[in-house]
């Protein structure tokens, strides 16, 4: 196996082989890009499991007449916050015929709040085939409105909120890509201190990202997946740059002992491929566990991200080496490594590792204490944001919902829908009307065949609050108890309730699978039982600490009362899987060094050789995830913050202090049942 790797790497980096490899890579890229360029990615954004009760209600509502018609709310208040005058109400009444002419449907209102400070016009619209089309319809509606003097008009309600989510991402993916490229470019320039070298890995990873966006879009369309392409771009850039940093760092090291830069590059490729492959396989397998998720967005993200990371791996292993081979040793200018020079170990990292190994128990205690302090942020952490809290920058629909909640029963903005057999509809209506917290309930439509009736229920609680979620649960209990009614309860609040349950189920199922995948990869790579267990426990503690600190920072610095539903699972997955990357980079080198220098000295040498590259890789990955903060949704900002903080802590504390300290405490026992002199493949 080693001999075949050597033959392949020699051909990949040889004078003729490098140009041939680049030609093949370019042809494959052009062919795949052309093949998938006309395929648009999926656009769904379901938040609840497909088999949940709310999803079943959503499907049944499509069978009712005018199912493509949904109501939006036009909320009117005075600029001076005074009560609406008679003239104001008359002006709002004059708007209704114009709205009818614009939508082709019949609006109702204005309905004035009990405090007299706000009015609402309810106007149905014909929604589009997807959120993007609906967003255009809402935009046209807003443009057609002319606020009477002294009044503020805000268009809100379910369709408007979905349209604002879609509109918020207009140009956001391009902004994210631009910010990501600038971050990676800046950090590569700082790392390599070369005006040329940074361009090579950046170009390779950028091409991989563009190809990944097309291929994952096609995969998403074929498999009917839902996912956020921004996260995939961040993963491809972050992981791809990490792999490139590891390869180029070892290449620089090999140039000090080889006259021929092609031999040095071939040797570096052979020695880093096991670690890069193990790292990639760990993250890919961890992501594929998301295929078992019940939340559509989580499931789609796992499969598509795995495809994207495989493309990043292929680009770094098969496009980067021949490109470096063609450029030669001079690409490191002005700090060109010369053959015969003494290999400079990182003096800072060597000093840190030596001090840690000298007093491992003290270092271990200090590192774990830091993680414990960070993990204390988990106390007081809650999960679940309402619609208003999900935007980093407030939208018109979110602002309208707040105004509506201030002057009307908060449940007016998002009614609850009950679908039941028509023969028992009156019994269901009577049952739900008697539930505490219900303001009103009435039947509003029947299917064309008369078999089903739709009942609209207005609650007195603000959507997504604990009280509103409890109301949905109670309504379900009451409606389900009506004999032969086959009643189902849905709507936006019910969807939120089902989404919370689905995300909790995903966390309980997938988190253990991610740990199992990481353990198996470490077991195969290290051929040890003790090391994988110890390292995985440390990684688990690091992930919990990062989530704790990130959630605390979200509350204190950004006034975000809770984590969004998908954040705990995705943050855990990325922290564990990506954290294992750095464990593999470090311990794989330590295993090789231990064969010649013993376990403790081997770890010191491993930290000395890999400290700089792991730190650079960690900072790059953290900064790339932090770029998610430019996107408008709080979910992505929270994910970027937690993973970014976690990667930095993992790099500077876990890999630099805690892991070396554990090797110092356990010594040769860390490799049990093998011996440190037993080399690995």
Residue 437 to residue 418: CA distance in whole angstroms: 16
For residue 340, the model assigns a pLDDT of 67
Q: Answer whether the bond into residue 174 is a cis peptide, omega within 30°.
A: no
Instruction: In the chain, list all ranges with CATH 1.20.1640.10.
Output: 1-35+194-344
* Ramachandran quadrant class, 340 (left: phi over 0; alpha: psi -120 to 50; beta: rest): left
**662 and 670 in contact (C-beta within 8 Å)?**
yes
Query: What pTM did the predictor assign?
Result: 0.82
Mean pLDDT, 10 residues at a time, the chain of 681 residues: 67 88 89 77 75 92 84 90 90 90 87 90 84 84 86 87 72 72 81 82 90 88 82 86 87 87 90 86 90 90 91 93 89 80 66 90 93 91 79 78 82 86 92 90 88 90 87 94 93 91 93 90 84 90 92 89 89 86 82 84 87 82 82 83 90 89 89 63 35
**CATH code that applies to domain 66-168:** 3.30.70
Residue 466 to residue 470: CA distance in whole angstroms: 6
Residue 681 to residue 679: CA distance in whole angstroms: 7
Tokens 């426990």, residue located = 537
For residue 346, the model assigns a pLDDT of 57
DSSP reduced 3-state for 109:
strand
Beta-bridge partners for 119: 76, 112
1-35+194-344 is a CATH 1.20.1640.10 domain: yes
Tokens 């998720």, residue located = 293
Instruction: In the chain, list all ranges with CATH 3.30.70.120.
Output: 404-497
**681 and 1 in contact (C-beta within 8 Å)?**
yes
Best CA proximity match to 261, nearest among 342, 343, 321: 321
Burial grade of 378 (CB within 10 A; 0-12, 13-18, 19 or more): middle
For residue 5, the model assigns a pLDDT of 55
Residue 330 to residue 611: CA distance in whole angstroms: 24
Going from the C-alpha of 444 to that of each of 21, 411, 453, the distances in angstroms are 66, 17, 8
Q: Answer whether the bond into residue 223 is a cis peptide, omega within 30°.
A: no
Residue 570 to residue 639: CA distance in whole angstroms: 7
Burial grade of 338 (CB within 10 A; 0-12, 13-18, 19 or more): exposed
Best CA proximity match to 175, nearest among 628, 664, 638, 528: 628
Tokens encoding 533? 């267990």
Q: Please enumerate in sequence order all residues whose Cβ is within 8 A of that of 297, keeping only pairs 6 or more positions apart, or say none.
A: 45, 46, 47, 226, 227, 228, 566
Residue 97 to residue 93: CA distance in whole angstroms: 8
Tokens 């490229």, residue located = 181
Quote the radius of gyration of the chain (alpha carbons, Å): 29
Residue 483 to residue 2: CA distance in whole angstroms: 71
Query: What is the rounded end-to-end Cα distance, in angstroms, of the chain?
Result: 8
What DSSP state is assigned to residue 652? I
Beta pairing class for 69-78 and 151-156 = antiparallel
Beta-bridge partners for 563: 383
Beta-bridge partners for 69: 126
**CATH code that applies to domain 404-497:** 3.30.70.120
For residue 8, the model assigns a pLDDT of 83
Best CA proximity match to 82, nearest among 111, 120, 110, 118: 118
Going from the C-alpha of 578 to that of each of 278, 325, 506, 567, the distances in angstroms are 11, 29, 19, 16
Residue 61 to residue 82: CA distance in whole angstroms: 40
Q: Please enumerate in sequence order all residues whose Cβ is within 8 A of that of 476, keeping only pairs 6 or more positions apart, or say none.
A: 53, 489, 494
């Amino acid at each position: 196996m080693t001999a075949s790797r050597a033959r392949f790497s020699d051909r990949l980096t040889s004078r003729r082989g490098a140009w041939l490899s680049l030609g093949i890579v370019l042809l494959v890229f052009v062919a795949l890009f052309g093949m998938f360029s006309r395929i648009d990615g999926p656009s769904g954004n379901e938040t609840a499991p497909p088999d949940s009760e709310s999803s079943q209600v959503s499907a049944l509502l499509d069978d009712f007449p005018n199912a493509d018609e949904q109501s939006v709310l036009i909320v009117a208040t005075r600029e001076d916050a005074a009560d609406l005058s008679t003239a104001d109400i008359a002006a709002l009444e004059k708007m209704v015929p114009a709205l009818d002419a614009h939508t082709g449907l019949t609006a109702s209102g204005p309905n004035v709040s009990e405090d007299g400070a706000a009015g609402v016009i309810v106007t149905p619209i014909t929604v589009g085939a997807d959120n993007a089309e609906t967003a255009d319809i809402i935009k046209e509606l807003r443009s057609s409105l002319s606020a009477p003097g002294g009044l503020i008009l805000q268009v809100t309600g379910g369709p408007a909120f979905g349209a604002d989510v879609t509109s918020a991402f207009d140009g956001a993916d391009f902004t994210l890509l631009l910010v990501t490229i600038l971050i990676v470019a800046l950090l590569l320039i700082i790392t390599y201190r070369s005006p040329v070298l940074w361009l090579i890995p950046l170009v390779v990873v950028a091409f991989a990202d563009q190809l990944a966006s097309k291929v994952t879009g096609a995969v998403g369309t074929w498999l009917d997946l839902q996912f956020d392409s921004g996260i995939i771009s961040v993963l491809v850039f972050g992981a791809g740059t990490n792999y490139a940093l590891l390869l180029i760092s070892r290449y620089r090291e090999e140039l000090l002992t080889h006259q021929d830069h092609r031999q040095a590059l071939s040797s570096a490729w052979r020695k880093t491929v096991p670690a890069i492959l193990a790292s990639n396989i760990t993250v890919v397998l961890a992501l594929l566990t998301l295929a078992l998720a019940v939340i559509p967005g989580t499931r789609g993200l796992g499969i598509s991200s795995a495809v994207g990371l495989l493309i990043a791996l292929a680009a770094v292993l098969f496009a980067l080496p021949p490109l470096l081979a063609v450029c030669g040793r001079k690409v490191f200018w002005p700090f060109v490594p010369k053959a015969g020079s003494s290999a400079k170990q990182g003096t800072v990292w060597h000093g840190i590792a030596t001090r840690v190994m000298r007093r491992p128990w003290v270092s271990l205690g200090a590192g774990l204490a830091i993680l414990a302090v960070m993990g204390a942020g988990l106390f007081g952490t809650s999960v679940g944001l309402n619609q208003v809290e999900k935007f980093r920058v407030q939208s018109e629909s979110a602002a309208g919902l707040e105004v509506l909640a201030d002057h009307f029963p908060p449940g007016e903005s998002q009614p609850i829908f009950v679908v039941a057999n028509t023969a028992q509809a009156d019994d269901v209506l009577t049952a739900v009307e008697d539930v505490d917290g219900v303001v009103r309930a009435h039947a509003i439509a029947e299917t064309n065949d008369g078999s089903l009736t739709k009942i609209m229920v207005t609650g007195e609680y603000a959507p997504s609050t604990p009280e509103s979620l409890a109301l949905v649960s109670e309504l379900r209990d009451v409606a389900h108890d009506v004999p032969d009614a086959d009643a189902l309860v849905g709507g936006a609040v019910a969807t939120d309730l089902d989404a919370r349950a689905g995300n909790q189920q995903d966390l309980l199922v997938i988190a253990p699978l991610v740990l199992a995948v990481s353990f198996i990869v470490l077991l195969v790579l290290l051929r040890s039982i003790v090391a994988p267990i110890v390292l995985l426990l440390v990684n688990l503690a690091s992930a919990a600490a990062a989530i704790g600190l990130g959630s605390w920072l979200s509350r204190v610095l950004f006034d975000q009362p809770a984590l969004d539903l998908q954040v705990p699972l995705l943050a855990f997955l990325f922290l564990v899987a990506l954290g294992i990357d750095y464990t593999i980079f470090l311990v794989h080198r330590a295993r090789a060094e231990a064969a010649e220098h013993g376990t403790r000295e081997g770890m010191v040498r491993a930290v000395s050789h890999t400290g700089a590259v792991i730190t650079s890789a960690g900072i790059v990955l953290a900064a790339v995830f932090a770029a998610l903060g430019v996107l408008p949704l709080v979910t992505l900002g929270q994910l970027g913050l937690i993973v970014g903080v976690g990667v930095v802590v993992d790099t500077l504390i876990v890999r630099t202090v805690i892991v070396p300290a554990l090797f110092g405490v356990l010594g040769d026992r860390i490799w049990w049942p093998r011996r440190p002199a037993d080399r690995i493949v």
